Structure 1
Amino acid sequence: MGRGPTTRSRANVGSKTTEDGSDKEPTHHSVQPTTVANPLIEIPQADDGNGSMTAFLALRKRQQEEAKKEKEEKEKLEKERVEKKKALADASKKVVQESMPEIEEGDEEEVVVPYRPRGKTRMDKVHTRSFEQRIVIGMNELGQPITENDKVLSELSSFLGTLAKRCVPLTYVTWRKVPKNLKETMWNYVKARYIIPDELESWAIETIHASWRGYKCRTKAAHYTAFETDEIRLQNRPDDIPLERFKLLLEYWNDESIQDKARKNSNSRKSYTETHTLGPKSIAQLRHKMKKNAPDESEPCDAEVFVKTRTRDAGREYKTSTKTMKKKIDKINKKNQLRGGC
């Protein structure tokens, strides 16, 4: 590195050598300048390290390239997912179209989308109810449950239906084959969730029985009758029935004697046209409300209950003909008018 410019100082003053070789400062004040080869000072070069704009821009460029690459990968995965979903939808649509009847051109019939029902009733709020939170269930003189709140009785019926599904396998041939101790266990389980009279035990067990039969009927219609072969039926097995039990059901329903019995029962059921229109509501609860709303709180007669539970709504479609029922109701009403009541 070159030296900088000299200044007038004692250090730069020339020394005089004597004859004996010793240095002595001159006695006069004149200064003799020293010649410098490169009088410019060498300044440090610019630091282009991590804190510079160049490094920042390089970092940003790498980040943008990585972000672009990541975006392209996400778009690729999303595109593959959409294509896969579309392929599944096309396959499902093809299956539906193949299973639907062909509609000729000019036919104005619209394709009706099937109704999607809600999920199965679980009644978890009742199953998890503590002993201290039990709800009181009353009873009428006919040994039937009644409550002041209709929802409580509907809840009880639905709860008993879940016991039929969870506790009683469908592999029992008839309800008589269900063990007695299992029925007693279910009744004790009901008493742990409701304050219910012991006299209603037979009603509760019979309600579970009816729910069990209905569940078995719906299972057969949806997973046996709806398909032609056992191979397809096994592929469409309900999730809540184990495989081995479902195989036993298929073997039982395939028996010729059982199929013949099922046809006779089905024809016998179709001949019955006097079904009530209350749905899951209780007839005993209806009688209780009719009695409560009567001016003298008298017990309603069977004719009044029959008319109340069999009257069809105008403009609504029913599976069976309403003409026969309407004639019967009109006949009962005329007799009641002539008698002045029941």
Structure 2
Amino acid sequence: MVALRFNMMTSQKKFSIPKRGEAWVLKSLGKKWKDYKCNLKGEYVKKHKTKDALLKYRPSRIPRDQWRGLVSYWLSDKAKRRTQANRNNRSKKMMPHTGGSKSIATLMNEQIPDANSGHERVQQTSRMLSVAENDQHSHGRRGQ
């Protein structure tokens, strides 16, 4: 999708970003850009079901040609398949990930002390998993 893509070259001309913070700034901007497009889709696609209606009620902040490209992408078969696959995957998710950028495996490895016996590691892992399952039941699954 070419339309509505964050243009890094333009941002480098408009902003003076120190080298040491550049990766963080670009990652943060990318996330905000992705979230913005997600919010637009949620707001406009639910309200205006057809392509014609979506094109007619374009947000004033977005140029017409970019909006047309984004709407075309949202309504394409490829985007619809991806949306459905993501929906299916989220519905199968049993345990929410609340560890930030670290994977569950890394968190577990850091919390379990090195033990001489594998039995102690298995017990500790079982305790952690049962705590996670209890959290899941107390918080409910996403989408319910």
Bucket of the pairwise TM-score, normalised by the shorter protein:
0.5 to 0.7
Q: One-letter code of the match for 1:181?
A: M
Aligned equivalent of 2:75? 254
Tell me which of the two structures has the higher relative contact order, counting C-alpha pairs closer than 8 angstroms and 6 or more residues apart: 2
> Shift of the alpha carbon at 1:271?
4.2
Poorly superposed stretches of 4+, deviation over 6 Å: none
Q: Partners in 2 of 1:222 and 1:263 — Cα distance? A: 18
- Label 1:181 to 1:245 Cα distance change in 2 as closer, same or farther (>3 A): closer
Q: Partners in 2 of 1:242 and 1:179 — Cα distance? A: 15
Alpha-carbon displacement from aligned partner over 1:151-194 (angstroms, at most 9, x marks no partner): xxxxxxxxxxxxxxxxxx9523xxxxx55423433652xx4xxx
Residue pair 1:224, 1:233 contacting (<8 A) in 2 also: yes
Aligned equivalent of 2:96? 274
Q: Partners in 1 of 2:7 and 2:69 — Cα distance? A: 19
Between the aligned residues of both structures, percent identity stands at 19
1:328 to 126, 129, 132: 132
Q: Partners in 2 of 1:179 and 1:216 — Cα distance? A: 15
Equivalent residues, number: 110
Residue pair 1:230, 1:250 contacting (<8 A) in 2 also: yes
Alignment of 1:278-293 (within 5 A): none
1:171 aligned to 2:4? yes
Alpha-carbon displacement from aligned partner over 1:181-216 (angstroms, at most 9, x marks no partner): 23433652xx4xxxxx63221111011101111111
Q: Partners in 2 of 1:221 and 1:259 — Cα distance? A: 14
- Secondary structure at 1:239's aligned position in 2? coil
Q: Partners in 1 of 2:11 and 2:92 — Cα distance? A: 32
- Label 1:266 to 1:181 Cα distance change in 2 as closer, same or farther (>3 A): same
Aligned equivalent of 2:28? 207
Q: One-letter code of the match for 2:10?
A: L
| TM-score where L is the length of structure 2 | 0.56
Aligned equivalent of 1:185? 13
Q: Partners in 2 of 1:240 and 1:326 — Cα distance? A: 48
Aligned equivalent of 1:4? none
- The structure with the greater share of residues assigned to helix is 2
1:233 aligned to 2:54? yes
Alpha-carbon displacement from aligned partner over 1:282-308 (angstroms, at most 9, x marks no partner): x69xxxxxxxxxxxxxxxxx57xxxxx
- Label 1:184 to 1:269 Cα distance change in 2 as closer, same or farther (>3 A): farther
Residue pair 2:3, 2:69 contacting (<8 A) in 1 also: no
- Label 1:219 to 1:211 Cα distance change in 2 as closer, same or farther (>3 A): same
Alpha-carbon displacement from aligned partner over 1:318-340 (angstroms, at most 9, x marks no partner): xxxxxxx9831879xxxxxxxxx
Q: Partners in 2 of 1:184 and 1:246 — Cα distance? A: 24
Q: Based on CA coordinates, which of the two structures has the bigger radius of gyration?
A: 1
- Label 1:271 to 1:180 Cα distance change in 2 as closer, same or farther (>3 A): same
Q: Partners in 1 of 2:14 and 2:26 — Cα distance? A: 8
Aligned equivalent of 1:217? 38
> Shift of the alpha carbon at 1:218?
1.0
Aligned Cα root-mean-square deviation (Å): 3.7
The runs of 5 or more residues in structure 1 that have no matched partner are 1-168, 173-177, 192-196, 277-282, 285-301, 304-324, 332-342
Q: Partners in 2 of 1:214 and 1:240 — Cα distance? A: 16
Q: Partners in 2 of 1:214 and 1:270 — Cα distance? A: 20
Q: One-letter code of the match for 1:210?
A: K
Q: Partners in 2 of 1:225 and 1:207 — Cα distance? A: 27
